[in-house]
Amino acid sequence: MRPSQSAPRNAVAVAAAILVVAAISVFAPSIAAADDASPAPGTVVSAKPLDRDLWIPDTTSRAFVLKYVTTNSFGELARSTGTVFIPKGKAPEGGWPVISWAHGTTGLGDSCAPSRTGPGLPERDWAYLGTWMEEGYAIVATDYVGLGTPGLHPYLDTKTTAHSVVDMVKAGRNFADAHLPPHQRLAAKWVTTGQSQGGSAAISTAHYATQFSGKELDFRGAVGTGTAAYVEDYLTALGPKSPPVGVTPASTAAISYTLSALRYAHPELGIDNILTPAGKKYLKLAETQCVVEFRDTLKDVALGDYFTDPLATLPNFKDTVREYLGMPESGFDQPFFIAHGIADTNVPIPQTTRYAAVLKAHGEPLTFKAYPSDHSGTMAASLPDTIHFVRERFSGP
Protein backbone atom coordinates (compact mmCIF):
# COMPACT_ATOMS: atom_id res chain seq x y z
CA MET A 1 0.00 0.00 0.00
CA ARG A 2 1.37 3.35 -0.97
CA PRO A 3 1.90 5.99 1.72
CA SER A 4 -0.86 8.59 1.71
CA GLN A 5 0.08 11.74 -0.20
CA SER A 6 -1.79 13.72 2.45
CA ALA A 7 0.69 12.76 5.18
CA PRO A 8 3.08 15.69 4.60
CA ARG A 9 0.16 18.04 4.56
CA ASN A 10 -1.15 16.51 7.77
CA ALA A 11 2.26 16.96 9.37
CA VAL A 12 2.27 20.60 8.34
CA ALA A 13 -1.21 21.00 9.75
CA VAL A 14 -0.19 19.42 13.04
CA ALA A 15 2.88 21.64 13.28
CA ALA A 16 0.79 24.70 12.52
CA ALA A 17 -1.69 23.68 15.19
CA ILE A 18 1.11 23.33 17.72
CA LEU A 19 2.36 26.81 16.88
CA VAL A 20 -1.13 28.23 17.23
CA VAL A 21 -1.59 26.59 20.62
CA ALA A 22 1.81 27.90 21.73
CA ALA A 23 0.89 31.38 20.58
CA ILE A 24 -2.45 31.23 22.37
CA SER A 25 -0.74 30.19 25.59
CA VAL A 26 1.28 33.41 25.52
CA PHE A 27 -0.96 35.98 23.89
CA ALA A 28 -4.57 35.03 24.50
CA PRO A 29 -6.35 36.09 27.72
CA SER A 30 -5.77 33.86 30.72
CA ILE A 31 -9.31 32.68 31.43
CA ALA A 32 -8.41 31.50 34.92
CA ALA A 33 -6.91 34.87 35.76
CA ALA A 34 -9.77 36.81 34.23
CA ASP A 35 -12.48 34.77 35.98
CA ASP A 36 -10.78 34.47 39.36
CA ALA A 37 -12.89 36.34 41.92
CA SER A 38 -9.80 37.81 43.58
CA PRO A 39 -6.68 37.59 41.40
CA ALA A 40 -3.54 38.97 42.97
CA PRO A 41 -2.31 42.42 41.88
CA GLY A 42 0.22 41.91 39.10
CA THR A 43 -1.65 38.94 37.62
CA VAL A 44 -1.39 39.01 33.83
CA VAL A 45 -4.83 38.79 32.23
CA SER A 46 -3.64 38.90 28.61
CA ALA A 47 -0.57 39.68 26.53
CA LYS A 48 0.30 40.41 22.93
CA PRO A 49 3.26 41.72 20.94
CA LEU A 50 3.57 45.50 20.84
CA ASP A 51 3.35 47.11 17.40
CA ARG A 52 6.95 47.57 16.24
CA ASP A 53 6.22 51.22 15.42
CA LEU A 54 5.88 51.75 19.20
CA TRP A 55 9.16 50.09 20.20
CA ILE A 56 11.84 52.23 21.80
CA PRO A 57 14.06 52.69 18.72
CA ASP A 58 17.40 50.89 18.31
CA THR A 59 17.49 49.40 21.80
CA THR A 60 14.50 47.02 21.94
CA SER A 61 14.78 43.30 21.19
CA ARG A 62 11.20 42.37 22.07
CA ALA A 63 8.19 44.30 23.38
CA PHE A 64 4.76 43.30 24.64
CA VAL A 65 1.48 44.84 25.76
CA LEU A 66 0.10 43.36 28.98
CA LYS A 67 -3.28 43.68 30.62
CA TYR A 68 -2.89 43.10 34.34
CA VAL A 69 -4.61 43.35 37.71
CA THR A 70 -4.15 46.39 39.93
CA THR A 71 -6.20 48.56 42.33
CA ASN A 72 -8.38 51.55 41.40
CA SER A 73 -9.37 54.70 43.27
CA PHE A 74 -12.23 52.90 44.99
CA GLY A 75 -9.92 50.28 46.51
CA GLU A 76 -11.23 47.62 44.12
CA LEU A 77 -9.29 45.21 41.93
CA ALA A 78 -9.28 46.57 38.39
CA ARG A 79 -7.50 46.17 35.07
CA SER A 80 -4.68 48.27 33.69
CA THR A 81 -2.49 47.93 30.62
CA GLY A 82 1.17 48.62 30.02
CA THR A 83 4.21 47.70 27.98
CA VAL A 84 7.35 45.64 28.55
CA PHE A 85 10.52 46.50 26.61
CA ILE A 86 13.32 43.91 26.64
CA PRO A 87 16.80 45.26 25.79
CA LYS A 88 19.08 43.76 23.19
CA GLY A 89 21.72 41.36 24.42
CA LYS A 90 21.79 38.90 27.29
CA ALA A 91 20.53 39.75 30.76
CA PRO A 92 22.99 39.63 33.67
CA GLU A 93 22.62 36.88 36.23
CA GLY A 94 19.26 37.27 37.94
CA GLY A 95 17.66 39.06 35.01
CA TRP A 96 17.53 42.59 33.63
CA PRO A 97 17.25 45.21 36.40
CA VAL A 98 13.94 47.01 35.90
CA ILE A 99 12.90 50.62 35.47
CA SER A 100 9.17 51.17 35.89
CA TRP A 101 8.45 54.23 33.74
CA ALA A 102 5.64 56.59 34.81
CA HIS A 103 4.64 58.62 31.77
CA GLY A 104 3.68 62.28 31.61
CA THR A 105 0.26 63.65 30.76
CA THR A 106 -1.32 62.14 27.65
CA GLY A 107 -5.00 62.58 28.51
CA LEU A 108 -7.82 60.63 30.13
CA GLY A 109 -9.40 58.96 27.11
CA ASP A 110 -8.69 55.36 26.24
CA SER A 111 -7.17 56.44 22.93
CA CYS A 112 -4.52 58.38 24.88
CA ALA A 113 -2.93 55.24 26.38
CA PRO A 114 0.77 55.05 25.39
CA SER A 115 0.50 51.31 24.69
CA ARG A 116 -1.93 52.24 21.90
CA THR A 117 -0.38 55.38 20.45
CA GLY A 118 3.12 55.69 21.89
CA PRO A 119 4.42 58.42 24.21
CA GLY A 120 2.98 61.91 24.21
CA LEU A 121 6.28 63.36 22.97
CA PRO A 122 8.00 60.48 21.15
CA GLU A 123 11.32 62.13 20.32
CA ARG A 124 11.79 63.29 23.91
CA ASP A 125 10.55 60.16 25.67
CA TRP A 126 12.09 57.58 23.35
CA ALA A 127 15.49 59.26 23.58
CA TYR A 128 15.23 59.28 27.37
CA LEU A 129 14.05 55.68 27.70
CA GLY A 130 16.52 54.51 25.06
CA THR A 131 19.35 55.86 27.16
CA TRP A 132 18.22 53.78 30.13
CA MET A 133 17.97 50.66 27.96
CA GLU A 134 21.48 51.27 26.62
CA GLU A 135 22.59 51.35 30.26
CA GLY A 136 21.26 47.81 30.68
CA TYR A 137 17.77 48.18 32.11
CA ALA A 138 14.49 46.65 30.98
CA ILE A 139 11.57 49.10 30.87
CA VAL A 140 8.06 48.34 32.08
CA ALA A 141 5.60 51.17 31.50
CA THR A 142 2.08 51.30 32.90
CA ASP A 143 -0.66 53.16 31.07
CA TYR A 144 -2.25 53.76 34.54
CA VAL A 145 -5.54 52.21 35.61
CA GLY A 146 -8.53 53.48 33.61
CA LEU A 147 -6.42 54.69 30.69
CA GLY A 148 -7.33 52.16 28.01
CA THR A 149 -9.30 50.02 30.47
CA PRO A 150 -12.78 50.39 32.06
CA GLY A 151 -13.40 53.45 34.21
CA LEU A 152 -11.90 56.92 33.94
CA HIS A 153 -8.20 57.38 34.58
CA PRO A 154 -7.83 58.98 38.06
CA TYR A 155 -5.34 61.63 36.99
CA LEU A 156 -2.85 62.58 39.75
CA ASP A 157 -4.39 60.20 42.30
CA THR A 158 -1.11 59.51 44.06
CA LYS A 159 -1.89 56.27 45.88
CA THR A 160 -3.80 54.66 43.01
CA THR A 161 -1.04 55.55 40.55
CA ALA A 162 1.50 53.92 42.86
CA HIS A 163 -0.49 50.69 42.64
CA SER A 164 -0.39 50.87 38.82
CA VAL A 165 3.38 51.46 38.76
CA VAL A 166 4.24 48.70 41.25
CA ASP A 167 1.83 46.12 39.84
CA MET A 168 3.23 46.71 36.34
CA VAL A 169 6.60 45.49 37.62
CA LYS A 170 4.96 42.37 39.04
CA ALA A 171 3.09 41.77 35.79
CA GLY A 172 6.23 42.22 33.69
CA ARG A 173 8.16 39.73 35.80
CA ASN A 174 5.29 37.23 35.85
CA PHE A 175 5.00 37.39 32.07
CA ALA A 176 8.75 37.12 31.48
CA ASP A 177 9.14 34.19 33.89
CA ALA A 178 6.32 32.29 32.18
CA HIS A 179 6.99 33.07 28.53
CA LEU A 180 10.50 34.40 27.85
CA PRO A 181 13.86 32.59 27.80
CA PRO A 182 16.14 33.01 30.83
CA HIS A 183 18.38 35.58 29.13
CA GLN A 184 15.38 37.91 28.65
CA ARG A 185 13.80 37.69 32.11
CA LEU A 186 13.49 40.48 34.64
CA ALA A 187 15.20 40.87 38.00
CA ALA A 188 13.40 41.50 41.27
CA LYS A 189 15.30 44.74 41.83
CA TRP A 190 13.72 47.85 40.35
CA VAL A 191 13.44 51.62 40.45
CA THR A 192 10.80 53.96 39.09
CA THR A 193 11.37 57.06 36.98
CA GLY A 194 8.81 59.53 35.67
CA GLN A 195 8.24 62.93 34.07
CA SER A 196 5.65 65.61 34.98
CA GLN A 197 2.50 63.68 35.93
CA GLY A 198 4.85 60.71 35.95
CA GLY A 199 7.35 62.57 38.12
CA SER A 200 4.70 62.92 40.81
CA ALA A 201 3.76 59.28 40.23
CA ALA A 202 7.37 58.10 40.62
CA ILE A 203 7.94 60.01 43.86
CA SER A 204 4.58 58.94 45.29
CA THR A 205 5.38 55.37 44.32
CA ALA A 206 8.66 55.62 46.23
CA HIS A 207 6.61 56.14 49.38
CA TYR A 208 4.37 53.11 48.83
CA ALA A 209 6.66 50.83 46.81
CA THR A 210 8.01 48.56 49.53
CA GLN A 211 4.55 48.15 51.06
CA PHE A 212 2.91 47.37 47.71
CA SER A 213 5.78 45.23 46.39
CA GLY A 214 5.45 42.44 48.92
CA LYS A 215 8.21 39.84 49.14
CA GLU A 216 8.57 39.26 45.40
CA LEU A 217 10.14 42.63 44.49
CA ASP A 218 13.22 44.53 45.64
CA PHE A 219 12.55 48.28 45.39
CA ARG A 220 15.72 50.42 45.18
CA GLY A 221 14.65 54.06 44.63
CA ALA A 222 13.02 56.64 42.36
CA VAL A 223 13.70 59.54 40.01
CA GLY A 224 11.14 62.26 39.28
CA THR A 225 11.62 65.08 36.74
CA GLY A 226 9.22 68.01 36.36
CA THR A 227 7.52 66.78 39.54
CA ALA A 228 4.32 68.59 40.48
CA ALA A 229 3.60 69.16 44.18
CA TYR A 230 0.84 70.87 46.17
CA VAL A 231 -1.51 70.89 43.19
CA GLU A 232 -4.29 70.95 45.77
CA ASP A 233 -3.36 74.58 46.53
CA TYR A 234 -4.27 75.57 42.98
CA LEU A 235 -7.58 73.74 43.09
CA THR A 236 -8.75 75.16 46.41
CA ALA A 237 -8.15 78.68 45.02
CA LEU A 238 -10.32 78.14 41.94
CA GLY A 239 -13.67 79.86 41.51
CA PRO A 240 -15.57 82.39 39.39
CA LYS A 241 -12.86 85.02 39.89
CA SER A 242 -9.96 82.76 38.97
CA PRO A 243 -7.42 84.22 36.53
CA PRO A 244 -8.85 84.46 32.99
CA VAL A 245 -6.55 81.71 31.70
CA GLY A 246 -4.03 79.33 33.20
CA VAL A 247 -0.34 80.16 33.27
CA THR A 248 -0.06 78.13 30.06
CA PRO A 249 -2.52 76.09 27.98
CA ALA A 250 -0.77 73.05 29.42
CA SER A 251 -1.62 74.06 32.98
CA THR A 252 -5.23 74.80 32.01
CA ALA A 253 -5.47 71.33 30.50
CA ALA A 254 -3.86 69.74 33.57
CA ILE A 255 -6.31 71.47 35.92
CA SER A 256 -9.22 70.39 33.74
CA TYR A 257 -7.99 66.79 33.69
CA THR A 258 -7.59 66.88 37.47
CA LEU A 259 -11.10 68.18 38.05
CA SER A 260 -12.64 65.72 35.62
CA ALA A 261 -10.85 62.80 37.29
CA LEU A 262 -11.63 64.11 40.78
CA ARG A 263 -15.37 64.30 40.15
CA TYR A 264 -15.22 60.70 38.85
CA ALA A 265 -13.27 59.37 41.85
CA HIS A 266 -15.20 61.46 44.40
CA PRO A 267 -18.76 62.04 43.17
CA GLU A 268 -19.78 62.83 46.75
CA LEU A 269 -18.06 66.23 46.41
CA GLY A 270 -20.79 67.40 44.05
CA ILE A 271 -18.42 69.29 41.74
CA ASP A 272 -21.14 69.39 39.07
CA ASN A 273 -23.26 71.50 41.42
CA ILE A 274 -20.98 74.50 40.96
CA LEU A 275 -20.10 74.06 37.30
CA THR A 276 -21.40 76.39 34.64
CA PRO A 277 -22.48 74.97 31.28
CA ALA A 278 -19.01 75.88 30.01
CA GLY A 279 -17.38 74.07 32.93
CA LYS A 280 -19.43 70.93 32.30
CA LYS A 281 -18.60 71.10 28.60
CA TYR A 282 -14.83 71.30 29.08
CA LEU A 283 -14.67 68.70 31.85
CA LYS A 284 -16.63 66.34 29.62
CA LEU A 285 -14.20 67.00 26.76
CA ALA A 286 -11.36 66.28 29.20
CA GLU A 287 -12.58 62.70 29.43
CA THR A 288 -11.84 61.99 25.77
CA GLN A 289 -9.48 64.55 24.20
CA CYS A 290 -5.78 63.72 24.36
CA VAL A 291 -3.44 66.40 25.58
CA VAL A 292 -2.29 68.04 22.32
CA GLU A 293 -5.85 68.40 21.02
CA PHE A 294 -7.16 69.46 24.43
CA ARG A 295 -4.56 72.21 24.83
CA ASP A 296 -5.67 73.62 21.48
CA THR A 297 -9.31 73.44 22.59
CA LEU A 298 -8.51 75.40 25.77
CA LYS A 299 -6.22 77.97 24.17
CA ASP A 300 -8.46 80.96 24.94
CA VAL A 301 -10.61 79.41 27.69
CA ALA A 302 -10.94 81.17 31.06
CA LEU A 303 -10.85 78.88 34.08
CA GLY A 304 -13.05 81.31 35.97
CA ASP A 305 -15.83 80.56 33.50
CA TYR A 306 -16.03 76.99 34.78
CA PHE A 307 -17.59 77.85 38.16
CA THR A 308 -20.61 79.48 39.77
CA ASP A 309 -18.99 79.26 43.26
CA PRO A 310 -15.50 78.61 44.64
CA LEU A 311 -14.46 74.97 44.78
CA ALA A 312 -13.44 75.45 48.41
CA THR A 313 -17.11 75.95 49.35
CA LEU A 314 -17.90 72.31 48.57
CA PRO A 315 -18.25 70.16 51.72
CA ASN A 316 -15.00 68.40 52.68
CA PHE A 317 -13.34 69.61 49.49
CA LYS A 318 -10.00 70.57 51.04
CA ASP A 319 -9.57 67.30 52.96
CA THR A 320 -10.68 65.17 50.01
CA VAL A 321 -8.44 66.88 47.49
CA ARG A 322 -5.50 66.66 49.84
CA GLU A 323 -6.06 62.91 50.25
CA TYR A 324 -6.39 62.46 46.49
CA LEU A 325 -3.57 64.72 45.27
CA GLY A 326 -1.27 65.12 48.23
CA MET A 327 2.36 64.12 47.75
CA PRO A 328 3.81 62.08 50.65
CA GLU A 329 5.99 64.21 52.90
CA SER A 330 7.55 61.46 55.04
CA GLY A 331 7.92 57.70 55.33
CA PHE A 332 10.31 57.02 52.44
CA ASP A 333 12.51 53.97 52.98
CA GLN A 334 14.73 54.24 49.88
CA PRO A 335 16.64 57.19 48.39
CA PHE A 336 14.96 59.22 45.65
CA PHE A 337 15.99 62.01 43.29
CA ILE A 338 13.93 65.02 42.18
CA ALA A 339 15.21 67.05 39.22
CA HIS A 340 13.54 70.28 38.16
CA GLY A 341 14.07 72.96 35.54
CA ILE A 342 14.48 76.59 36.60
CA ALA A 343 12.73 77.68 33.40
CA ASP A 344 9.86 75.20 33.76
CA THR A 345 6.55 76.99 33.04
CA ASN A 346 4.38 73.85 32.96
CA VAL A 347 5.25 72.97 36.55
CA PRO A 348 6.80 76.14 38.03
CA ILE A 349 9.67 75.36 40.36
CA PRO A 350 8.56 77.21 43.56
CA GLN A 351 6.08 74.54 44.69
CA THR A 352 8.55 71.75 43.95
CA THR A 353 11.29 73.59 45.84
CA ARG A 354 8.87 74.00 48.75
CA TYR A 355 8.14 70.27 48.63
CA ALA A 356 11.85 69.43 48.63
CA ALA A 357 12.38 71.66 51.66
CA VAL A 358 9.61 69.87 53.58
CA LEU A 359 11.08 66.48 52.70
CA LYS A 360 14.54 67.59 53.83
CA ALA A 361 13.12 68.97 57.06
CA HIS A 362 11.59 65.56 57.73
CA GLY A 363 14.93 63.84 57.16
CA GLU A 364 13.83 61.99 54.02
CA PRO A 365 16.55 60.46 51.75
CA LEU A 366 16.10 63.02 48.96
CA THR A 367 18.55 64.36 46.40
CA PHE A 368 17.14 67.55 44.85
CA LYS A 369 18.80 69.39 41.99
CA ALA A 370 17.68 72.27 39.76
CA TYR A 371 18.83 72.60 36.15
CA PRO A 372 18.90 75.55 33.71
CA SER A 373 16.21 73.90 31.58
CA ASP A 374 12.50 73.97 30.79
CA HIS A 375 9.91 71.30 31.58
CA SER A 376 10.93 68.77 28.93
CA GLY A 377 14.60 69.72 28.87
CA THR A 378 15.10 68.62 32.46
CA MET A 379 14.84 64.99 31.43
CA ALA A 380 17.97 65.07 29.28
CA ALA A 381 19.77 67.65 31.45
CA SER A 382 19.47 65.46 34.55
CA LEU A 383 20.49 62.16 32.94
CA PRO A 384 24.21 62.28 33.83
CA ASP A 385 23.26 62.69 37.49
CA THR A 386 20.32 60.31 37.56
CA ILE A 387 22.13 57.53 35.68
CA HIS A 388 24.84 57.67 38.35
CA PHE A 389 22.18 57.74 41.09
CA VAL A 390 20.34 54.70 39.72
CA ARG A 391 23.55 52.77 39.09
CA GLU A 392 24.49 53.25 42.74
CA ARG A 393 21.02 52.15 43.85
CA PHE A 394 21.40 48.88 41.94
CA SER A 395 24.98 48.23 43.00
CA GLY A 396 24.26 47.30 46.60
CA PRO A 397 22.91 44.00 47.95
Regarding beta strands 77-87 and 138-142, do their DSSP bridges make them parallel or antiparallel, or are they unpaired? Answer: antiparallel
3-state secondary structure the chain: CCCCCCHHHHHHHHHHHHHHHHHHHHHCCCHHHHHCCCCCCCCEEEEEECCHHHCCCCCEEEEEEEEEEEECCCCCEEEEEEEEEEECCCCCCCCEEEEEEECCCCCCCHHHCHHHHCCCCHHHHHHHHHHHHHCCCEEEEECCCCCCCCCCCCCCCHHHHHHHHHHHHHHHHHHHHHHCCHHHCEEEEEEEEEECHHHHHHHHHHHHHHHHHCCCCEEEEEEEECCCCCHHHHHHCCCCCCCCCCCCHHHHHHHHHHHHHHHHHCHHHCHHHHECHHHHHHHHHHCCCCHHHHHHHCCCCCHHHHECCCHHHCCCHHHHHHHHHCCCCCCCCCCEEEEEECCCCCCCHHHHHHHHHHHHHCCCCEEEEEECCCCCHHHHHHHHHHHHHHHHHHHCC
- Bridge-partner residues for 96, per DSSP? 186
3-state secondary structure 131-177: HHHHCCCEEEEECCCCCCCCCCCCCCCHHHHHHHHHHHHHHHHHHHH
The pLDDT of residue 248: 77
Q: List the pLDDT tens digit at each of the 397 positions of the chain.
A: 333 343 333 443 333 333 333 333 344 333 233 444 579 999 999 999 999 999 999 999 999 999 999 999 999 999 999 999 999 999 999 999 999 999 999 999 999 999 999 998 999 999 999 999 999 999 999 999 999 999 999 999 999 999 999 999 999 999 999 999 999 999 999 999 999 999 999 999 999 999 999 999 999 999 999 999 999 999 999 999 887 655 678 889 999 999 999 999 999 999 999 999 999 999 999 999 999 999 999 998 989 999 999 999 999 999 999 999 999 999 999 999 999 999 999 999 999 999 999 999 999 999 999 999 999 999 999 999 999 999 999 997 7
37-230+335-395 folds as Rossmann fold (3.40.50)
Instruction: Report phi then psi at 119, rounded to 5.
Output: -70, 160
Report which of 178, 184, 188 is spatially closest to residue 214, judged by C-alpha positions. Answer: 188
The pLDDT of residue 27: 43
Domain boundaries, the chain: 37-230+335-395, 232-324
The pLDDT of residue 24: 32
Whole-angstrom distance, CA of residue 344 vs CA of residue 360: 22
Report which of 346, 348, 396 is spatially closest to residue 124, judged by C-alpha positions. Answer: 346
CA-to-CA dists, residue 265 to 5, 48, 80, angstroms: 65, 30, 16
Does residue 161 contact residue 80 with C-beta atoms inside 8 Å?
no
Report which of 36, 25, 71, 56 is spatially closest to residue 175, judged by C-alpha positions. Answer: 25
Q: Is the dihedral of CA 177, 178, 183, 186 positive or negative?
A: negative
Report the half-sphere exposure of 387 (CA within 13 A, side-chain side): 16
The pLDDT of residue 394: 96
Does residue 62 contact residue 184 with C-beta atoms inside 8 Å?
yes
The pLDDT of residue 233: 94
Regarding beta strands 96-102 and 138-142, do their DSSP bridges make them parallel or antiparallel, or are they unpaired? Answer: parallel
The pLDDT of residue 357: 98
Whole-angstrom distance, CA of residue 138 vs CA of residue 187: 9
